[in-house]
Amino acid sequence: MRDVLLSQLDLVWGFATQFVLDDVDERQALWEPSGNVVTVHNTEDGWVADWPDEESRPLPDATIGWILWHVEMWWANAADSAEGRRARTPDEVRWSGSTDGVIAAHDRWVEILSSHDLEAPVRGLMPEPRPFSFVAAWVNFELTKNLAEINQLKIQYGNRNP
C-alpha cells in the first residue's frame, strides 16, 4: 500500500514540477478570472485568504494564489492531524506567497508517508477518524484536482494575457 501511495504521489508531483508550479509568479497568482472570485490578500499579518460563502450561488472562481493557499492549508492540516496535532481553521493559515509553501508541504508529507503507520487512525481532519492510508489516498486525489485547476487557470491566463 505504501509503495502505491508513494508512486501515485511521485506521478502527481512530477506533473506539478514539470508543468504547473515552475513559472507561477505573483501577477499570475493574483489574476482574477471573473468578477466573482476568492483570492488572497497581502496584509500586515501575511497573505490572508478569502473564505467563500458555500451556501451562496454561484460559487466564486478561485485565483491561483487562493488554490495554492488552499493546498498549503489542507496539506498542513493532513500532516498535523497525522502527527496528532489539531487541524487549523482557514483563518489561522497564511499563504506563503509563492509555490514554496506547496513544495515544503510536499517534502514534509513525503517524510510522513514514508514512515507513518498506514493503519493509524487520523482524527480531527475528517468528520470521522480514518486510517492514515485513507488520508494519504485523499491527499493524492486532492493534490491532483488542485493542480489540474491551477493548470487550467494558467492556460486561461496565458490566452488572455499573451
118 phi and psi angles, rounded to 5 deg: -65, -25
The whole model's pTM is what?
0.95
Residue-wise pLDDT for 23-76, tens only, equals: 999 999 999 999 999 999 999 999 999 998 888 889 999 999 999 999 999 999
Q: Provide the CATH topology of domain 2-160.
A: Four Helix Bundle (Hemerythrin (Met), subunit A) (1.20.120)
The Cα 120–Cα 89 span in angstroms is 23
Name the residue ranges covered by the structural domains of the chain.
Answer: 2-160
